[in-house]
Structures are given as structure tokens and as C-alpha cells.
A and B are shown apart, each in its own frame.
Chain A
Amino acid sequence: MSPRCETTSARARFLPWAPLLTLVVMVGPVVAGVLGTIAPAFGYMPALGGDGITLNAFAMLFDWPGITRASLLSVITGLAATAMSLLLVAMICAAWNGSRAFRVIERMLSPLLSVPHAAAAFGLAFLIAPSGWIARATSPWLTGWDRPPDLLILQDPYGVSLIAGLVVKEVPFLLLMTLAALSQIRARQARDTALALGYSPVTAWFKTVFPRVYTQIRLPVFAVLAFSMTVVDVALILGPTTPTTLSVQILKWMNDPDLGMRFLASAAAVWQLVLVVGALLLWRVGEIALAALGRRWVASGARGGATRTIRAISLTAALLSASAIVFGILGLLVWSFVGFWSFPDLLPGAFTTKTWMRHTMNLWPIVSETLIIASVATMAAMLLTLACLEAEERYGLRPGSRALWLLYVPLIVPQIAFLTGLQTLAIFTGIDGNRTAVIAVHIIFVLPYVFLSLADPFRAWDARYGHVARALGAGCNGVLWRVRLPMLLRPILTAAAVGFAVSIGQYLPTLLAGAGRVQTLTTEAVALASGGDRRVISVYALSQTALALLPFAFALFIPAIVWRNRKGLRHA
């Protein structure tokens, strides 16, 4: 805590309130939204003539023939995607942590993370489709196909392609969170001690490091589980169609011109929330069971082995997961320039810029809308985050570990469960359907990510620089603006890039808060999914990816240029 700051200016008076304001901006809409979902679910929506408490909507929901299958799909895809992502991340860390391959993987993380979910899903779809690259690469010499086979690989009824699409995007996220957790515990020492006791590297890591890492990444894992169960955009692209997943069905009911369907949609959203809570509890039970087994395994003293096999398997899986995104984007690039492409040729017979030319004019207003929303949302989130962190510094308003939960509230409460209610509230207060509403909703999701990426570097800054600066006559604001923020330029820009990418990728919040009238690259790209024109989809998905990647390039190059003669900040 830095002592005795001036508190007379308006800005200084605002600062102590920053954490509360941030909380209201971030968690307030979630709470309001959940309430706005629950009320109509039980029949209460006076504007539509519902003023009693009934269970009619739930009766309708459970009469819907698809309910069992949709619910099962939600739970199974969520649990499977989360378990597979976590397992892969743990295996990678156990087998490769500290190696050169691991550093390569680390460096690929940011770009992989910033690829929007929708773009990654489209890329994967174009890879695995019956007429996709994988089928082309293996036809006809291996498969014997000279026409795209009539197979339901995409949007398969079991949600396998949906799970795959989720895993390739959640692995980089969980890996990043795991790396942050690893840097906070003395992982290396523990593992080396175990190695000296004769344990094989992978076993040593799982027995000594993983339990401590897991307690630190539990919240991100929960966020992944909730997200995977309820995701809408990826499910629209890769998920099954008859029936769809529950969240997609809720969106359909929400968009029904018959406003009465909102009762049903709200009931389904509440049911979706119940499913998520149930799955989280189930996961927790699984944690406890695995921990008990793990303790026995530790007590057994088994030294383990098979290091090479596990190394090979985990690296292959990681490469597969990363290449699904990389080749997916490459595929989008090829498709956006395709003139004519016959099966099973590996590359198109003719390239053309026609698709790009035809859509450039339409793209511009959408690109600028996307940029405005992302910039304002990121700036607002950045200001609130910096104000919170500085207030923590000046007034010792340090959040406890319980407050960390609050950051994850918007990430764990399913979007569909509270955005549904938020839209219902917005319609009857007349504030929906404009850019401001979309920005406000984006801030809810941008804030946690900006805060999570900036908090550690901000807190890790050596406070003695501040003490020296103050002894030299600088006030609290002087320390902040002239010393701390310039020194933290790189992490600040990185956090802004993360926030920007998060905003670019938002589908459901944009759609519901914008009432379909605010068009961003993401909403447009996903809307094109049902049309199936791969060329146009590719143009939109690529533009979306480029916009999300751009700030990461800035975050890399701006500090490198500004601090080119400052060796001390090269790795800051």
C-alpha cells in the first residue's frame, strides 16, 4: 500500500469507489438478467399478461419432444470437452514443462487464443467436412472417394464435432491459466525433488505439482465447463441440428415472433442454468473422487514410467489441436479466394479475388461497428481495471480470494441464462437494440479477462520504484503516470489486446443486446453459417480473425519500438 495520497481532486475521490463500481458494472447485469429470466419462467411478465406464478412454461418445456436429447447433449458435450481439454493440458505440462518444445507451445498461445471461437469453428468445419481438406488429402488413394461422401461428419447428432471445436479453443485458454498458476508455485523444485527420489518425470509432475496447480485453475475449469455446455455460436456451426443443443433452441424460441414463446424460452434458460449448476456439482464430486484415488496412488509410491509414450501422445494431441486452428484458418484463406474447386483436388483449380471484391463494400460498416464496440468496451474495462488496481495499492482495498469468484461470475453463469432475462428487461425499458447496450454487455465479459491478465503484472511491479519516486518528490499520481504505467506498457497493451479479442468474439451478447440490429463481424459470420456459402463465410471469418489478431501485433511491436533503447524493459 502506498501511504498518504492526496484525496482532494475529483479523480482521487472517485478512486476508492472504483472496486464497487466495477462490481456493479460486471455483476449487476448478471444478477438482473438471471432474475429477468426466472420471473417469466414462472409465468410472471405483466407486459405480456403474465401476472401469476405458474409452472405452465416448464410443463411446455418438458412436453417438447427434444428436451431429453438436448439436455443430454448439453451435459455430455460440456463434460467431455472440459475433461479432454484439462487432460491434454495436464499431460502437456507434465511431459514437456521446461523443455524447448514447451517454449514453442507457449509462444503459439496468444495467437491461438485470440482466434475467435466462430472463426476457429468454421475453420475446423471446412477441414473435417466430407468435402473438406482432410477428405481431399486422403482421396481417392486411401478412401476411394471420387465424390464427397454422404456422411454426417459435421453437425453429427452426438456432438462429436462440437466437442472437437470446443477442445481446440479451450486447450490454449486452460494452458495459459495453468502457466500462470505454475509461475506462482515452486513447480520445478517439487518435480526435481521427486525426480531425485526416482520418480519418472510425468508421474513426478502429476504427484507433486498437479494437485497444487489444479486448486489454482479450478475457476477457469468451471468457466470452461459452463461455457462448453451453453455455447451458441460454435453449436450453430458444428453442433447437431435435430434437435439442436438446448442453448441454440432457447435462442430460436427467443427469436420467435410470437412473444408468448418468451415464457418457454425463459423456462428453458432456467433449466439450462440448473443443468450447469448440476454439472458443476457433478464435476466437484468427480474432483473429490479423483483426489481420493490420487492420494492412494501417491501413497503407493509407484515411480511410474512410460515417459516417452506419454510425451509422444501428448505432443501429437497438442499439435493436432493447434493445427486444427492453424490449418482451419489457412483453409478459410484458400476458400476466400476460390474460383472453382473440384473434389478431390487438394488445391483449387482457379483463384480469384471476386469474393473479396464483392463483399468489401458490405464489410466496411460492419468492420467499423465491430471496432467501435471493441475499442470502447476495452477502454472502459481497462480504466476500471486500472482504477481498481490503483485503489488496491493506495487504500489497501485488496480483494480476498473470495472476491476472485466475483470476477468469474460472468464467465460461469451461462450467457444464455442471464442475457435472455436481460433482453426481456431491456425490451420493456426500451434500452435494447442500440450500440450502447451492446457495449455495456460486452464490458461484462471483457472486464474479467482484462483484469485477470493485468492484475499479476501490476501487483508484481517493484514498489520500491514508487518509494524512490516519492522520496524524489513525486506524488501518487506522478508515480502512477510517470513511472508505473510506462513501465507496465507491455502488459497493459497485452491485456487490452485480450479484451479486444474477447469483444470481437462475442456472439450471443451482441445478438441479444443489439436485438439483431447491431451487426458485427461475428453476428454476420454466424448468420451466414446456415447459408453454407463457404467463400463468403471465409471472408467474414477471416476478417473477424484479423481484427482479433491485430491488437496482439500492436502489443508486441509498440513496446519493442518505444522501448527499443531500454534493455531493462525488454522482457517486462
Chain B
Amino acid sequence: MRDPGMTLDDVVIRRDGRTLVDISDRVAPGEVLTVMGPSGSGKSTLLSYIIGTLETGFDAAGRVILNGTDITDLAPEKRHVGILFQDELLFPHLSVGENLAFGLRASVKTRTARREQINTALEDIGLGGFADRDPETLSGGQKARVALMRMLLSDPKALLLDEPFSRLDTERRDQIRTLVFDQARAKGLPVLLVTHDHADADAAGGRVHRLS
């Protein structure tokens, strides 16, 4: 693979003439780059720009290069960038298994193969037999694990985390944090974490970029 990892090449995002984000960096596979800043500092804006859902009204420049491919002008669904938000955002009209199936890439064709992979994935996160459950009946920690797995099944090339641990209680937070970072490292994904929590940054252990 040519130039593996995610490169942010002079990404500058402005709104009403004010510069919110100004970053130029490279995240290697398996590395975690933490972006810190107070609320309203444009952390989430940066993530929207990378996944391609930045709202109109922002003035953005710079390139996002993923594994040597410039994805800046691609449609969000063509970018293969996974994201986890503070809320799990499990689709409320789908069962836990259907949520995972939504994420699982379409190249897994037959129904049995898909079902098998989803069941294995559920067992991997300690939720074996949960496929038919209503996501709303899950605990916060369980939801977070399903959301993570749903994203991983879509085979992302990079991982963006938008304060995904802040809703969890302290005990769960460590558990989920470890799970996410371990998975990313195992799959060799570049990770961009935005947070205002120093504990998150410490646990990530990587470099920290500060927005003002």
C-alpha cells in the first residue's frame, strides 16, 4: 500500500471569517491522534469534514488523503471512514442484528454467511444471542459495543471518534475504550479521537493536537 495511514493536508475550516480548525498532520496505521479543545472549538466540525457531511456555511480547504487516495471530494459512502458519536445512534427501527447487517459490507453475499458473521461479531463483543433484541432495551455499554461493531463490519480504512466515551460511567468507559483501541490497533486503522477529557487522551497514549 502506498503511503498508508490518514493524512490531513493543510485542512483549514472557517466560519464567518473565524478560523475554527487549522491542522496538518499524519496518522499512521494503528496510531491514535487526539484532538483536544473546549466545546465550540470545531472538533466535531473537523470530523464532519473528514467524513464528508460538513454543513453549508462553512468555508473549508485542504485535502484528506487515506492510504494514498485523496478522498476529499468523494461522497461520504465512498470514503470508508468509520465514525462513532457520543450517542450510539443505533437505528431504532432495526433489531441489533439488523443494525449490524446494515454495517456489514455487501460483498458478504449469502444470507447464511451474513448471519454467521453477525453472530460471530456479537459473540466477539460478549453479546451472543442478542441478534433479535430491540436496541432500545440494551444498556449503555452494550449499545456502545454494538455501535462499534456495526462500524467495524463496514470495513473502514480509518476510525473517527467523536467523544464516544463521555456518556458511559467510569467503569464501562475504561472497558469500551480499551476495546476500541485494541480493535483499531489489531486492524491497523489510523484513529482520530476528539475529546475534552484528558483521561481519554491519556488512555489513547498518542500525540495530542490542541484547538483553541
Do the two chains bind? yes
Residues in chain A within 8 A of chain B (CB atoms): 1-6, 396, 462, 464-475, 478, 482-483, 486-487, 489, 563, 565-569, 572
B116 in the interface, Cβ–Cβ < 8 Å? no
On whether the beta carbons of A4 and B76 are closer than 8 Å, the reply is yes
B135 in the interface, Cβ–Cβ < 8 Å? yes
Contact string against A for B residues 124-136, beta-carbon threshold 8 Å, 1 for contact and 0 otherwise: 0000000000111
B137 in the interface, Cβ–Cβ < 8 Å? yes
B181 in the interface, Cβ–Cβ < 8 Å? no
On whether the beta carbons of A470 and B77 are closer than 8 Å, the reply is yes
Contact string against A for B residues 64-75, beta-carbon threshold 8 Å, 1 for contact and 0 otherwise: 000000000011
State which of B87, B95, B105 has its C-beta within 8 Å of the C-beta of A464.
B87
**Chain B minimum-CB-distance residue to A485:** B93
On whether the beta carbons of A473 and B154 are closer than 8 Å, the reply is yes
Write out the residue numbers on chain B whose beta carbons fall within 8 Å of the beta carbon of A482: 102
Measured CB to CB, the closest approach of chain B to A176, in angstroms, equals 26
Compute how far the CA of A469 lies from the CA of B81 in the bound complex, rounded to whole angstroms: 11
Write out the residue numbers on chain B whose beta carbons fall within 8 Å of the beta carbon of A469: 91, 102
On whether the beta carbons of A468 and B135 are closer than 8 Å, the reply is no
On whether the beta carbons of B53 and A474 are closer than 8 Å, the reply is no
On whether the beta carbons of A472 and B102 are closer than 8 Å, the reply is yes
On whether the beta carbons of B136 and A472 are closer than 8 Å, the reply is no
Q: A-B pairs with the 10 shortest C-beta distances?
A: A568-B92, A567-B136, A470-B76, A568-B136, A4-B75, A486-B93, A472-B154, A467-B53, A472-B103, A470-B77
State which of B80, B92, B151 has its C-beta within 8 Å of the C-beta of A569.
B92
Measured CB to CB, the closest approach of chain B to A480, in angstroms, equals 13
Give the most central of B74, B82, B102: most A CB within 10 Å: B102
B56 in the interface, Cβ–Cβ < 8 Å? yes
Residues in chain B within 8 A of chain A (CB atoms): 48, 51-56, 74-77, 79-83, 85, 87, 89, 91-93, 95, 102-103, 105-106, 134-137, 150-151, 154, 156
On whether the beta carbons of A568 and B105 are closer than 8 Å, the reply is no
Compute how far the CA of A396 lies from the CA of B75 in the bound complex, rounded to whole angstroms: 17
23 pairs of residues in contact across A and B, judged by CB atoms under 8 Å: A3-B52, A3-B75, A4-B52, A4-B76, A5-B75, A396-B56, A464-B89, A469-B91, A471-B81, A471-B82, A471-B83, A471-B151, A471-B154, A472-B102, A472-B150, A472-B151, A472-B154, A483-B93, A487-B91, A487-B93, A565-B134, A566-B134, A568-B136
Compute how far the CA of A409 lies from the CA of B102 in the bound complex, rounded to whole angstroms: 43
- Report if A3-B53 is in contact (Cβ < 8 Å); known contacts: A465-B89, A569-B92: yes
- Report if A1-B154 is in contact (Cβ < 8 Å); known contacts: A467-B83, A568-B135: no
- Report if A471-B93 is in contact (Cβ < 8 Å); known contacts: A6-B75, A566-B136: no
State which of A464, A471, A483, A568 has its C-beta within 8 Å of the C-beta of B76.
A471
Write out the residue numbers on chain B whose beta carbons fall within 8 Å of the beta carbon of A396: 56
On whether the beta carbons of A471 and B137 are closer than 8 Å, the reply is no
On whether the beta carbons of A475 and B77 are closer than 8 Å, the reply is yes
State which of A5, A465, A470, A473 has its C-beta within 8 Å of the C-beta of B91.
A465
Compute how far the CA of A490 lies from the CA of B134 in the bound complex, rounded to whole angstroms: 18
Compute how far the CA of A482 lies from the CA of B93 in the bound complex, rounded to whole angstroms: 10
- Report if A470-B151 is in contact (Cβ < 8 Å); known contacts: A464-B85, A487-B91: no
**Chain A minimum-CB-distance residue to B156:** A471
Write out the residue numbers on chain B whose beta carbons fall within 8 Å of the beta carbon of A572: 92
On whether the beta carbons of B134 and A568 are closer than 8 Å, the reply is yes
- Report if A2-B53 is in contact (Cβ < 8 Å); known contacts: A471-B82, A473-B154, A475-B77: yes
**Chain A minimum-CB-distance residue to B80:** A473
On whether the beta carbons of B75 and A467 are closer than 8 Å, the reply is no
Write out the residue numbers on chain A whose beta carbons fall within 8 Å of the beta carbon of B95: 565
- Report if A467-B56 is in contact (Cβ < 8 Å); known contacts: A566-B92, A568-B134: no
On whether the beta carbons of A1 and B77 are closer than 8 Å, the reply is no
Measured CB to CB, the closest approach of chain B to A484, in angstroms, equals 10
**Chain B minimum-CB-distance residue to A486:** B93
Q: A468-B83, A487-B92 are in contact. List 5 more A-B contacts (CB 8 A).
A: A464-B87, A470-B77, A471-B51, A568-B136, A569-B92
Measured CB to CB, the closest approach of chain A to B78, in angstroms, equals 8
Compute how far the CA of A410 lies from the CA of B43 in the bound complex, rounded to whole angstroms: 46
Measured CB to CB, the closest approach of chain B to A470, in angstroms, equals 4
Measured CB to CB, the closest approach of chain B to A490, in angstroms, equals 11
On whether the beta carbons of B151 and A566 are closer than 8 Å, the reply is no
On whether the beta carbons of B136 and A474 are closer than 8 Å, the reply is no
Measured CB to CB, the closest approach of chain A to B203, in angstroms, equals 23
Write out the residue numbers on chain A whose beta carbons fall within 8 Å of the beta carbon of B87: 464
Compute how far the CA of A475 lies from the CA of B137 in the bound complex, rounded to whole angstroms: 28
**Chain B minimum-CB-distance residue to A564:** B134
Write out the residue numbers on chain B whose beta carbons fall within 8 Å of the beta carbon of A568: 92-93, 134-136
Write out the residue numbers on chain B whose beta carbons fall within 8 Å of the beta carbon of A466: 53
On whether the beta carbons of B136 and A467 are closer than 8 Å, the reply is no
Write out the residue numbers on chain B whose beta carbons fall within 8 Å of the beta carbon of A563: 93
Compute how far the CA of A396 lies from the CA of B135 in the bound complex, rounded to whole angstroms: 32
